[in-house]
Amino acid sequence: MADPTPHLHRVNERDGKFEVLNDSGNVVLVCQDEASATNYAILLSEAYQRGYKMGYRDGKNIRVGDRKN
């Protein structure tokens, strides 16, 4: 079965350290071991997906007169 959540963050090894990169290729954080970097990449991707979906739902259900300032 395919993974339902695409991972927007990926891990890249550089000079013996493991960088977590976002989908634009920017370094988000650096870890000493690959397992930690992979876990952070998964957590960041899931948090982004959940936040994006929540924002999309909130925006989709808003009416012009209901906006908060």
- What digits encode the pLDDT tens for the residues 27-61? 999 999 999 999 999 999 988 888 877 776 666 66
pLDDT, position 66: 56
pLDDT, position 42: 94
Distance CA 7, CA 48 (A): 10
pLDDT, position 48: 85
How many residues appear in the chain? 69
Whole-model pTM over 0.75 = no
- Answer whether residue 18 shows pLDDT above 50: yes
Alpha helix (H) residue ranges in the chain: 34-61
